[in-house]
Structure 1
């Protein structure tokens, strides 16, 4: 066991994995306090690294799964946590991981992670596809990304990420974490965010893919008006039927308005298909 501990202590953060190991014990306790793990929770930690958060989670709950990409850390994690009941470890890429396999007795997952900043946005989008099977998510992210997630219409940070995250989840920006809390210290500030999937969506899109396409196209040219940014999607006549001011910029439109526009687009497409088939 001493050999494994020695290997762990000598393990250097790998840039290709976006590793920054959390070393501030006060911040670690604050994170776990925010999570407030319970004995029977089904907790999943993405990127446990050297186990800074993992140790407190394992001490608090009986069902802990960790997903670690760095195979050099896996043997050490197994040795350190094998004594904990119902601990399981997957050496895997969270971006490709099927979280459905972790569901037991229909109990929702609680997902935790100090996410590598270089994959945080695609990983968040991947996890949102499991939102109906998740109780909550607590992540350490680049502060700028958390601000984008929580941004409201009119904010400079408001965009595709915030709209799609807020479609599925309530977003809480909990607290900031300085670079000195990590080894090596990142060049940016970090923050802890809590995402709580809605039991019932406040705004329901008829087709989520249509909503995603609409938002993506709108924000490709965020400084232009909707009339200009949506030209590639709609005819001038169709745009005039949209329930918003076309002179507004994409960052001024609320989630509710994007969902309403998405549903109208779906209806227009359906009606056009019906008309085409009749001809």
Structure 2
């Protein structure tokens, strides 16, 4: 391995073949499917994905790695290499003829949350997403109301996707070894939203505000949005904190506010 991992890109290269095989057994790529790999790095997942017969787009920010990948796969017509920042990339541009993309990647820890929010904007053209993330982030994604890990990330991702923790990945599976445990999560966009929401942008603002000061009760954190009496009329206790409020209850608050602004 003659590429020096770059800290500024959050690079930790997966090299454990048993972990790679486990990821692929869960992913179960099939010939003819259209896959997108974010941050292919040294190609640990890229090679076996191509071997399975999929059409593959890879998105890599590090230009040295782009040059390396272009050389490595120069004669393979099944792969397209994009030298781009995944945070800015228009994933919907890759989906042709109403097909659904399958997305995979070992996401850099330093951009994982904004990247997940970016991808949520294009779930209409995504079949599923299988990501390696910091285990703490996977815990937050999958957390249910009432737990300490539950927060904005949990609520927003669970509105768009079914989230499934698959397995943990130890630090020694990477070079260089990160300081934290990693985990694999599968996110499958819902065929229909689990709860109706009148204004998604306003819903996102409400959830962000509710969790911005986690220790405050709803009546305090949302006082500029809704009164304690109005919360009570919706069957929600204003003395509760945001971490106790379910996705359905956040939707109920957001929809009540939306109907109020219509009148």
Pairwise TM-score range, normalised by the shorter structure: over 0.9
Task: Name structure 2 gaps, 5 residues minimum.
Answer: none
Counterpart of 2:110 in 1: which secondary structure? coil
RMSD across aligned positions (CA):
1.2
Match status 1:192 vs 2:184: yes
- 1:154 maps to 2:146: yes
Cα separation, 1, equivalents of 2:14 and 2:187: 21
Number of aligned positions between the proteins: 263
Highest Rg: 1 or 2?
A: 1
| Distance in 2, Cα, partners of 1:191 & 1:236 | 39
CA apart distance, 1:240: 4.3
**Residue 212 (1) aligns with residue 212 (2):** no
Structure 1 counterpart of 2:165: 173
- Describe the SS at the equivalent of 2:214: coil
CA contact (8 A) 1:128 1:168 kept: yes
Distance 1:260 1:235, change over 3 A: closer
CA distance in 2, matches of 1:236, 1:141: 38
CA distance in 2, matches of 1:96, 1:212: 20
Q: Write out per-residue CA displacement over residues 154-202 of structure 1, whole angstroms, 9 at most, x where no aligned residue.
A: 1100000010000000000000000000000000000000000011111
**TM superposition shift of 1:132:** 1.0
Match for 1:22 among 14, 17, 20?
Answer: 14
Q: Distance in 2 between matches of 1:236 and 1:224?
A: 13
Question: For residues 81-105 of structure 1, what are the alpha-carbon distances to aligned partners after superposition, in whole Å with 9 as ceiling and x for unaligned?
Answer: 2333331010000000011210122
Task: Write out the 4+ residue segments of structure 1 that deviate beyond 6 Å after TM superposition.
Answer: none
Query: Residue in 2 aligned with 1:182?
Result: 174
- Segments of 5+ residues of structure 1 without an aligned counterpart are 1-8, 272-279
Alignment check: 8 A CA contact 1:45 1:111 kept: yes
CA distances 1:7-35 after superposition (whole Å, capped 9, x unpaired): xx311100000000001111011111111
- State the shift of 1:270 in Å: 1.4
Which residue, out of 29, 47, 57, partners 1:65?
57
Cα deviation for residue 243 of structure 1 reads 3.4
1:190-231 deviation line (CA, Å, top 9, x unaligned): 000000001111112111011101101100111221111111
Corresponding position of 2:226: 234
SS in structure 2 of the partner of residue 73 of structure 1:
helix
- 2:4 aligns with 12
Corresponding residue for residue 44 of structure 1: 36
Deviation at 1:236? 5.0
8 Å contact from structure 1 (residues 243, 260) kept in 2: no
Q: CA deviation at 1:249?
A: 1.2
